[in-house]
Structures are given as structure tokens and as C-alpha cells.
Structure 1
Amino acid sequence: MDYFATVLISSLSSASILLIATLGLAVVFGLMGVINLAHGEFIMMGAYSALTATQLGIPFILAIPVAVLVTMVFGALVEIIIIRRLYGRLFDTMLATWGLSLALYQGAVLIFGSVSPGIGMPQINFNVGDYTLAAYPIFMILVAAVMLAGIYALLTRTVYGMKARAAIQVPDMARAIGIDSARTNTLTFAIGCGLAGFAGAILLPIVPATPSMGFAFVIKAFLTVVIAGPVTLAGSALAAIGVGTGASVVASFMTSVAGDLFFFILTVVLLRLYPLGVSAKWRIKL
């Protein structure tokens, strides 16, 4: 029972890490209809920003908002220069962000090299019977819950959230009542990129900063959003917890390869059963 409990807690932690890495993509796709294939590189940018800040003597807890600010500013520039001209052209947007991801990856290799030093995980542990678990990965469960609640409140309980949804759903009417759709869309894309930067920074003690670190997240994050369907925020939470936890449990009892195989097989099965996503018939729309 102790071993089963540790597996369950660790698996929930892994699912929470997947959710943290997915939320930025879910916000951008859910509100803007933009599939950002450079999402993994924004995670990488956040990790390198936090790492650079700590190397300059800034405490890690303060390096996280620095990473968020850097990725938000860069994301705003990307929306203004590239994405703004491609709304309604899904394939062109995917192609443009894919090219951006390649450029950011090569830029990271040139600037930082292929290997970077980590910052180390806080040495805080707790016991479950005869087994010991590191506290920091388990802390990600709380981080994911707070992120999810905060994003939901931002999009449903604030004036910005109302404007953001209106600017995408009915842009002509939004402009008619005085909403600056262009500025709102820029802010929304920047927030999505900032969430990716936050993920890279908060996960830095677990996943060291490397130019290719985004690849470890972006495929599963993208599939999670696809499984989620039209209710991207709540659907992504359900998909990440369900599929991510299941894959982690399989990996614990077998191998990591078996866990990944389970993730992709379950994704195919769910998309076969729910072609429009698991949330296609939900009443809630966020």
C-alpha cells in the first residue's frame, strides 16, 4: 500500500507538471484559435531566463517573475510582428510558429550551448511509509491547481477576460462597442507565452535548461489540448490529469517507454471515441 501510494502521488505530480506546461498553449488556442508550435521554445526561454537571473545573483523565487516578464514581452512582439497578420489562417500560423521554434532553438544553441548547468532541487523530502519522496515535484500539484484557478478567474471574473473572449468570438461587435481588439489579442498571446515562461522557470529544478527541453513538453501538451476539445481550459485539466496520471502509473510499474506508448495509444482511443474532444458536449465553454 505504501508503494501504491507513492506511485499515485508521483503520477499525480507528473500529470500536474504536464498541466503546467500545457496551460499557456491552452489559453492561446482556446481564446485565439492559434496553434503555437513554438510553445516549447517559450518554455525553454523561461527556463534560460530564470537560470540567467539566478547566475546574476537573483534568488530563484524572484527569477520566476523575471522569466514571465521576458517571455511576455517577447510573446507580445511575436504577436505584433507575425501572428497579427495570420488570424484565420491556421496552417500559415502553424508554419510561422514552427519556423520561429527552429530559430529560437538554434539561437539557444549558439548562445548557451547544448548543455547548461542546473540550479539543483530543494533538498526537502517526506516519507510515505518506507518510501521517500522529494517535496518539490509534489509541490507542483499545488502550483498547477493555483494556476488553473487563477487563469479561470482572470478569464471569467475580470473585464479583461470579457474583452478577450469578445475580441475573438465577435471581433466586429467588439470593435463597435469600443474594445481595442488588436491590443487585447496582443495581451492574450503575451499571457499565454508568459504562462509558458512560468512553466520553464518553475520546472527548472526538475528539468534542466537545454535548447531541446521544449521538445519534451510540446508534443504531449499539444495532444492534451487536442484531446480537451472546445472547452480548452477545463478540458485540458481533465486530459492532463487523466492521461498524464495513467501514463505515469504505467511507467512506474513498467518502463518510461511503456508509459509514453500508453499515453499515445490512449490519445488515439480518446480521439476515436470523441473526435471533437472530450469536452465537445459540455455546457461550460471555458
Structure 2
Amino acid sequence: MQIDYLATVLLSSLSSASILLIATIGLAVVFGLMGVINLAHGEFLMIGAYTALTATQRGIPYVLSIPIAIAVTMAIGAAIEILIIRRLYGRLLDTMLATWGLSIAFYQLAVLIFGTVSPGIGMPHYSLKIGNYSLAGYPLLMIAVAALMGLFVHVLMTRTVYGMKARAAIQVPEMAQAIGIESSRVNTLTFSIGCGLAGFAGAVLLPIVPATPSMGFAFVIKAFLTVVVAGPVTLTGSVLAAIGLGGGASITASFLTSVAGDAFFFLVTALLLWLYPMGISAKWRRKM
């Protein structure tokens, strides 16, 4: 096997794992800190993509459309937490049903507003050449984006006052309330941040995955399974699960077919959940 081909496959697989991680982190934050399974996560990703697309169509530079997408999805997320999610804490099934209903509503709304097909913005034309092979540069850039995104969430949740309040508000809400932490506001901000991360993912992946009403479906199932496999140490566990599952599926697809790659993802997921029903991080000492 040629070294340049192997290097190309490994870089491409790391890029695929990074894209999965970018799409997953927002869900991991909401599930890990709040215990809420947001089945509308894919639709928040879609909202972020459409917001960025609409902004660029209005003449706003693509780079500036990304923070706009974050702001829009955070605002929608905050409103949904206040109006719906806040009333369902501790009722996992009801929360899943509510967010599933939201996902259907958002999907239909996107179809009505934008139709089923939307123009893309095109991928930047630069590439990395390795021997006789070349890789598109923008998907490779997602490796750095995923690393910075993970670092941002880690610092936010472990090195800031908000992070300490967020963990306290979920883990010991009565004590948090007793020492003056307004749990409701902290929870609203946490859910909003998770939605904002999904919006960021949709916007930053727009050159790779064109905005369509169903684009969230391509990510939400794998993102959800990645978080479940990760277990209670959501951030570190999600990073390892995304690299293992997403990267492994990409390598399998490179040597076989895309169907074989998907089969690898779901079979390994089933095996890991059989071996570690509470997730791969269930017995870790770390909490983030």
C-alpha cells in the first residue's frame, strides 16, 4: 500500500470524525449538563445553515454570517427552553416527545419558507496535495475547528463562573438555589448555548453540506449515538467516540463502500453499548 494513499485516508478519516464531533458537541452539552435529549438538535443545525445562507445571499461575508447563525439559534433555543423544556425537567420521555414534535415543526416550516432544494455557497478552492493524491482543504480545516470547539466548551464549563453554576444547577439544584444561583436562568443559558453550538455547526459545515430542510437527519442519529456511547463524561467521551466511530467508519468506507462504513458505525455502536451499557466513560473519574 502506498504511503501517500494511507496518509490521505487517515487525514480524510480524521476530517470526517471532526465533522461528526462538530455536529455532536451541542447535543453533548445539553444532554451532559441538563439530562435533556434534544431530538430537534438536527433542526437547530439546519436553522444555523439557513441563517448563514440567507445572510450571505444578502451580501454579508460568509465569515460574518457564522456569528449571526449562532445568535439566531441561541435566541430560539432560549425561547424554547422557557416555553417548553423548563416544564419537562426530570421527564425524559416527555422531553423527547416534545423536541421530536419541534423537529417536525421546524422541518415543515423550512420546507414552506425555503422549499426542498437550496443553492449552496460553494467550497473554497484550495487543497492539500499528498504525493499523487489531493484533499480538499476546507474539510481538513474542520480538524482545527473541532479542536478549538472542544477546547472552548472545556474552558467554558470548567474554568468559568458560569460553568460552575451550570454544573451546580443540574447536579444539586436545591443547594444551588440556597446559595443564590438562579437555576432557571442558568438552565436557559445552557440550553441556549447547546443550540448555539448546533447553529455554529450548521453554519461552518454549510460549504460541505448544503442547506436543506432534511440536512439535520444526516447528523442527528449519528450525533445522538455518539453521545450515548460517550456516557456521563460527555465532552471527553464524545471526542473519543467521534474519533473512533466517525474515523473508523470513514476508513472502512475508503477501503470498501459507504454502506460498509455506515454498517461499521452502527455495528460498533451496538457492540460498545452491549459492553458498556452506561457508556464508555461510566467508570472514569473525570466529570467533563
Tell me the TM-score normalised to structure 2 length: 0.99
Task: Tell me how far apart the structure 2 counterparts of residues 273 and 126 of structure 1 sit (CA, whole Å).
Answer: 39
Q: Give the equivalent residue in structure 1 for 2:54.
A: 52
Per-residue Cα deviation, 1:206-263 (whole angstroms, up to 9, x for no partner): 0000000000000000000000011011100000001110000000111111100110
Per-residue Cα deviation, 1:120-179 (whole angstroms, up to 9, x for no partner): 000011200110111100000000000000100000000000000000000011010000
Q: Give the equivalent residue in structure 1 for 2:204.
A: 202
| Pair 1:131 & 2:133 matched | yes
**Displacement of 1:194 after TM fit?**
0.1
Identity over aligned pairs, percent: 76
| Pair 1:156 & 2:158 matched | yes
Q: Give the equivalent residue in structure 2 for 1:166.
A: 168
| Pair 1:38 & 2:71 matched | no
Q: Give the equivalent residue in structure 1 for 2:76.
A: 74
Q: Give the equivalent residue in structure 2 for 1:225.
A: 227
Task: Tell me how far apart the structure 2 counterparts of residues 78 and 257 of structure 1 sit (CA, whole Å).
Answer: 36
Q: Give the equivalent residue in structure 1 for 2:258.
A: 256
Letter in 2 for 1:199: A
Task: Tell me how far apart the structure 1 counterparts of residues 270 and 100 of structure 2 sit (CA, whole Å).
Answer: 23
Per-residue Cα deviation, 1:22-45 (whole angstroms, up to 9, x for no partner): 000000000000000000000000
Q: Secondary structure at the match of 2:135?
A: strand
Q: Which runs of 5+ in 1 are unaligned?
A: none
Q: How does 1:1-286 map to 2 (within 5 A)?
A: 1-286=3-288
- Structure 1: 4+ residue segments shifted above 2 A: none
Task: Tell me how far apart the structure 1 counterparts of residues 86 and 274 of structure 2 sit (CA, whole Å).
Answer: 34
Q: Secondary structure at the match of 1:133?
A: strand
Letter in 2 for 1:123: H
Task: Tell me how far apart the structure 1 counterparts of residues 94 and 249 of structure 2 sit (CA, whole Å).
Answer: 33
Task: Tell me how far apart the structure 1 counterparts of residues 135 and 263 of structure 2 sit (CA, whole Å).
Answer: 25
Between the two proteins, the alignment pairs up a number of residues equal to 286
Q: Secondary structure at the match of 2:181?
A: coil
Task: Tell me how far apart the structure 2 counterparts of residues 281 and 126 of structure 1 sit (CA, whole Å).
Answer: 40
Letter in 2 for 1:105: Y
Letter in 2 for 1:268: A
Letter in 2 for 1:35: I
Letter in 2 for 1:76: A
